Chain A
Amino acid sequence: MASSLIRLLLPWRQPKPHHLFPFSLNPTKTSFLFHLRRCQASTSSPKRLILTQDERSKGSLSTEREAIVGSGTIAAIVTSLGGGPAAVGIVRISGPTAVAVAGQVFRPVKRWKEEGGCVAWRPKSHFVEYGYVLDNDGNVIDEVLAVPMLAPRSYTREDVVELQCHGNDVCLHRVLRACLEAGATLAEPGEFTLRAFLNGRLDLSQAENIARLISAKSAAAADSALAGIQGGFSSLVKSLKIQCIELLTELEARLDFEDELPPLCLPSLIDKISVMRHDLQDALDTANYDKLLQSGLQIAIIGRPNVGKSSLLNAWSKSERAIVTEIAGTTRDVVEANVSIHGIPAMLLDTAGIRETDDIVEKIGVKRSEAAALAADVIIMAISAVDGWSEGDAKLIEHIVTSQKSANQAMTAPMILVINKDDCKPKDLLVSFEEICSGLFKKVVRTCALTGAGISELEKAVLEVRGLEPISSAGRKWTVNQRQFEQLLRAQEAFFRLHTSIEEQLPMDFWTIDLREAALALSQISGDDISEEVLTSIFSKFCIGK
């Protein structure tokens, strides 16, 4: 009888049965010790905690639940940043879904070739794997070594994956962002160590040091957050948050006080939402520019063979980085050179000339050129003033545009047309094709790689197309740290889902879920609580009563 009842009762409290009965039937000394410890670890009194358990949704969720137990997965760059370029930098991911997150961004070379990369990554603990990190669109960001350390044999006693990247700030930030996009959250200062401590990995004396460290760091973080929240960014985030709260107020008031309020004007509400979505996109774009400021630009120089791309690179970087010959197809691989454009670090990528070819080596080079173009922040399309705008050029640019589209990038890199070999051109021709390509290209610049003429115009053009004008325009200049960026991204995702909800004509309550999420994300940047704000707003705005 009793056992059948237990079976009846147990299903809904399976997750924490030891909380209910912290003492066993057989109080021998060892089990007592064990229970004492457990009692103190999990509950400080014999109270029963009732968790949310909905029988109806249990079946579908049980597997999902296991994957999300724990307190979220965090990621951060754990090697020092900002110094000179180091050989290796490490991005560490820790938490219950660390392997899943890493599996989304990391492709082991072996498996990628064999199975097309669609099988979930199942790493063996403490075995190094070599592979690539891909971004959301499947572009290769960096080649890395992945070091999986599965729980509990890791620093935090959670699943940990460390990605050993090239020690370049740009690479590291891109890899980190890919991890964040794959579902990790940015680690707080000292959070890895905090977790290591909370999970029993560190001893007491170490713990006290951490406490000091963290309180110092969070004060510093607060200061830096404050510093970042001045000026345009802060007012934009604030106004977005206020708009979110206003909309929430309108919606929530109707949910709690239906018959005391006039009906809602839905079209205007939807308009407001799309305006906000647009504003947020603007903010993110600006944040992206800001990231560029910090992490540098990647500029890909593409074009048909023998238009003078390599000469351009050499002239720009004032070096003999690339081999220059009269032979078409000299450059086979991507050649990098670092330059500084008005103080902004930039990496020039000279690529193989893109053409139909039977040469296997050159074919690979062409592929790499295309990849470089897709991953770049600015694309410079070089043509020769001697040949003018040829059919080959048209084909090439069409190819790039379509592959950009198929990669479905949110932001396509702006393109600049460079007319090289400006010294030996028939002048009248130029005017016409400047007109032809003005739709595709944001800027047209004439250069002569041999004399270096036009390079400074090119630099200006690069800054201009990325909105990085050297003239400081107060409205659009702000710095955003990774944390703020993450919250902006979270808000944007919420708006995207909100948009879907509206399109799918889901009831109003579902709009509030994502609107609230967006408001929460925005308020994380400014650091306040929204729930009371919504209520206060409801009561000050509407007349409600018995």
Chain B
Amino acid sequence: MASATPRLLSFLFTPLRLTYPIHAIRTSHRSRTLSFLSFNLRRPNGRLRTVSSFASNGTNGMERMGQKDEERYDVIVVGGGHAGCEAALASARLGARTLLLTLNLDRIAWQPCNPAVGGPAKSQLVHEVDALGGEIGKMADRCYLQKRVLNLSKGPAVRALRAQTDKREYAMEMKKVVESNSNLFIREAMVTEVLIGKNDNIQGVRTFFGMDFFAPSVVLTTGTFMSGKIWVGRASMPAGRAGESASLGLTENLQSLGFETDRLKTGTPARVDCRSVDFSGLEPQYGDEEVSWFSFDPECHIEREQMCCYLTRTTSETHKLIRDNLNETPTYGGWVDAKGPRYCPSIEDKIVRFRDKESHQIFLEPEGRTVPELYVQGFSTGLPERLQLALLRTLPGLENCVMLRPAYAVEYDFLPAYQCSRSLMTKKIEGLFFSGQINGTTGYEEAAAQGIISGINAARHSEGKPVIVLERESSYIGTLIDDLVTKDLREPYRMLTSRSEHRLLLRADNADSRLTPLGREIGLIDDRRWDLYQSKQLRIKEEKERLKNVRVSGGEFAAEVATVSGQPVRDHTTLESILKKPHVQYKLLDKHGFGNENLSKCEKDCVEIDIKYAGFIMRQQSHLQQIVNQEHKRLPEDLDYYSMTTLSHESREKLSKVRPQTIGQASRIGGVSPADITALLIWVESNRRKANQRTQQELLRSGATDNHMAASSPTDSVVQATAI
């Protein structure tokens, strides 16, 4: 408790202090509209809106508002999954009065599918969310059952951490965190409607039971719940997940506002009772002896006992049973046509598509320390329940297994994310944000990554601050969002390392040095984390200096380096150039007493990577810089592409639909050719100049007749026009 209190205090105060430089400068142009005053007065009071700012709500809003203060919030987050929790926490931590609405309080941060966090590309997302000050990494570090580093020898950029997690513990821990924030209010509710103001701005949400909650920012994270429908064989029922009711009505409401919706499908395999499984003949998969961590916060680095996973395989019997019953599956029987993810095909898909493969790997993963459930990874199916047990029992080790939950598929509504800008705010409705599966992604990590960005931006928007955009090149989060909003995706999107063009620069080990300064500036990194971060960077820097200057000659060390690397070691070689040799790791320096004891393992890794791959990293950096200079040219958001006759018809159509924010985004849209991009550049530039000339002339004219105040009014109109 003693240690917890100062932390709490610092949390409460740092965002305030930190944001002052921003206010000081930002407010300068607003001071003339008097918002400067109200802004600062409101700040200590939990930022309650002034009555005047609600005057435009209409009489209905006014009445409700006058009666109950607590129905007004700064941010409302709809949905309590991995996106929702991250969004609500980020928003609340930034000082916004935040309301989290969820269908079921007991299913906060539930892991309905694979009880695992991380993996290639996904672990980078988790590290990045943590570096910004998010929660998912800490949760996975607290609740892991097993941890493994994948791709250990394949290069620093693709090295990935994966944790099996205790799904009950995970949900409970997250609930505690969410409940303990004084800015965050939780309520069970089904949102059926979003409330829209006169200027196409969000005003709040309406629930099934007729409650209205008001806020200038609303984040929708509906997961698989919007018009969700689950399938087992031919039988289906409306549900967001097995045993939980779907959310009905919201889709129609969003459609009536002009949003395009579409349908996606995903599935989850059966769970079996681990007490009924014979593990004796199965290949065990143990966790790493030396545990790695998602979070950069050492406070979460508490080792726990690990559990074991097991590997089994499909047999010819499995394949025969499936082939004989193909017409009983939704896809091949033809009664479900929503698109499932290519990354998690059902077992019948695998057997049909990879006919010549005799056997497929199946992993048995524990779901928790206190539950007997085993997750049968790689075995999701659309077969009817009566066939599922027989199918499971064709697997070695599962001959006598007991099935606890059948496998099922779920269909749900999503909103193709070209309708959002990169801040995750929708282009149609100001203040409305989408995150998670509603944007067509799959995976907890992808959801959390979007959640933290929409949470930050929702809070900033409610406060009148500019929203934040992570560029594609800056992070996997940026890549994810850029892909979502530019590519017209029609299948669930999973993050993969191959989606990032410059993944060598977006590693797990440098996620903090890429994003923590931003997290600090936003206000999500407290003093303690910031001090930790800075001293870590300092140690790494000093160590790199040291390695550059210390030279060694001959001796046992040089001999071993020569054998390990297969390269001769010259006299007076610096430790830096020794570390650059193939297969020479920092460990070898440690072994011979040339290491630095003050560094943690993770810091040594950083030093090693920075030195060993410096050439490659530099090359990628300069490559990236060239691209960035070209691609970050911004496009006005109100461009009339149809009037640009120099563009091809196809790209006029595509560009009008996606409305890219930068030239780079435009070039990534399918069907837009390099020639179109050139034409676009020219069009934009010439129009910019025309507009510039016009405003200059107008200003000169008005400046000649009017006084200083008159000249200032166009300032505000520019701000408003461009902020939409």
Contact = CB atoms under 8 A, between A and B. Distances in A.
Interface string A18-29: 000101110101
8 smallest CB-CB distances across A and B, nearest first, come from A509-B155, A507-B155, A218-B675, A546-B344, A23-B29, A55-B513, A45-B722, A539-B342
B105 interface: no
B682 interface: yes
Contact of A25 (B28, B520, B618): B28
Contacts of A513: 504, 616, 620
Contacts of B625: 65, 68-69
A198 B681 CA distance: 8
A56 B354 contact: no
A48 B469 contact: yes
Interface string A236-258: 00000000000000001011111
Interface stretch (A83-91, A166-174, A202-210, A375-383): A202-210
A52 B670 CA distance: 25
Given A49-B632, A534-B498, A12 B517 contact: yes
A211 B471 contact: no
Contact of A61 (B518, B540, B618): B618
A265 interface: no
A507 B154 contact: yes
A45 B719 CA distance: 7
B518 A54 contact: no
Contacts of A207: 682, 685-686, 689
Interface of A: 1-2, 5-6, 9, 12, 21, 23-25, 27, 29, 32-33, 36-37, 39-57, 59-61, 64-65, 68-72, 188, 194, 197-198, 204, 207-208, 210-212, 214-215, 218-219, 222, 252, 254-260, 504-510, 513, 529, 531, 534-535, 538-539, 543-546
9 contacts: A27-B29, A29-B711, A32-B715, A40-B691, A69-B625, A215-B646, A256-B497, A258-B151, A534-B498
Interface size class of B (residues with CB under 8 A): 35 or more
A55 B519 CA distance: 14
Contacts of B259: none
B630 interface: yes
Nearest to A26: B28
A57 B617 contact: yes
B473 interface: yes
A543 B679 contact: no
Contacts of A57: 510, 610, 617-618, 621
A252 B345 contact: no
Nearest to B376: A546
A23 B466 CA distance: 13
Contacts, number: 266
A509 B626 contact: no
Given A27-B29, A546-B344, A50 B537 contact: no
A376 to B, nearest CB: 35
Contacts of B696: 33
Nearest to B667: A529
Interface stretch (B1-9, B16-24, B173-181, B244-252): B16-24
Contacts of B380: 545-546
A493 B351 CA distance: 42
Nearest to B32: A27
Contacts of A507: 153-156
Nearest to A206: B686
B683 interface: yes
Interface stretch (B138-146, B235-243, B633-641): B633-641
Nearest to B421: A47
Residue among B150, B361, B363, B521 with the most chain A CB within 10 A?
B521
A210 B120 contact: no
A255 B122 CA distance: 12
B610 A505 contact: no
A50 B499 contact: no
Residue among A41, A60, A68, A509 with the most chain B CB within 10 A?
A509
A545 B682 contact: no
B26 interface: yes
A44 B471 CA distance: 16
A214 B679 contact: yes
A400 to B, nearest CB: 35
Interface string B412-425: 00000000000100
Given A52-B474, A535-B498, A40 B688 contact: yes
A50 B469 contact: yes
B692 interface: yes
Contacts of B158: 255, 509
Residue among A1, A48, A64, A71 with the most chain B CB within 10 A?
A48
Given A53-B514, A55-B537, A513-B616, 9 more contacts: A5-B17, A9-B517, A21-B25, A33-B699, A52-B471, A68-B625, A71-B626, A543-B350, A545-B347
A298 to B, nearest CB: 35
Contacts of B501: 531
B686 A204 contact: yes
Nearest to A3: B21
A462 B423 CA distance: 65
A23 B36 CA distance: 15
A197 B685 contact: yes
B532 interface: no
Contact of A211 (B349, B378, B473, B679): B679
Residue among A37, A194, A258 with the most chain B CB within 10 A?
A258
A80 B17 CA distance: 64
Contacts of B302: none
Contacts of A219: 675
A50 B675 contact: no
B682 A37 contact: no
Nearest to A210: B682
